[in-house]
Amino acid sequence: MNFYVDAWKKFATFSGRSRRKEFWMFLLINVAINYALSLIAGKLGSAGQIITSVFSLAILVPSIAVGIRRMHDIGKSGKWVLINLIPLIGTIWFLILGAKDGEVNSNQWGASPK
């Protein structure tokens, strides 16, 4: 849970590096919360859909930030986050990149977060 909280503390920090664990915990917990909100939205109707939409908007900037920092950790430019704009294949490729181990040594975006 600390990795999830750390990602929120760095809400709009697009510089630096993020470990795999921080990236994946942030992603998985947000998917779980979104799933739970979707179940609640089914019971509440349009009010529940508004809640789900507000949550999705709230995690937009932190999700982009942690994705950019993750790309920095593997030695790629943060622009690689834009690959998600390619339907399906782009998202799959981004997830594969997110699963790669980070560079052990310092790179142009900072020291290793491990």
Task: Tell me if 64 is assigned to some domain.
Answer: yes
pLDDT digits (tens, 9 = 90+) for 25-48: 999 999 999 999 989 888 887 878
Task: Tell me if 106 is assigned to some domain.
Answer: no
Q: In angstroms, rounded to a whole number, what is the distance separating the alpha carbons of residues 16 and 102?
A: 12
Q: In angstroms, rounded to a whole number, what is the distance separating the alpha carbons of residues 99 and 76?
A: 13
Task: Tell me if 114 is assigned to some domain.
Answer: no
Q: What is the mean pLDDT of the chain?
A: 91
Task: Tell me if 113 is assigned to some domain.
Answer: no
pLDDT digits (tens, 9 = 90+) for 3-26: 888 888 888 889 999 999 999 999
- For residue 34, the enclosing domain spans 2-99
pLDDT digits (tens, 9 = 90+) for 43-72: 887 878 888 999 999 999 999 999 999 999
pLDDT at position 91, please?
94
The number of folded domains in the chain is: 1
| Cβ atoms of residues 66 and 93 within 8 Å | no
Q: What is the pTM of this model?
A: 0.88
pLDDT at position 49, please?
86
Task: Tell me if 107 is assigned to some domain.
Answer: no
Q: In angstroms, rounded to a whole number, what is the distance separating the alpha carbons of residues 102 and 56?
A: 28
pLDDT at position 1 over 80? no
Task: Tell me if 104 is assigned to some domain.
Answer: no
Task: Tell me if 112 is assigned to some domain.
Answer: no
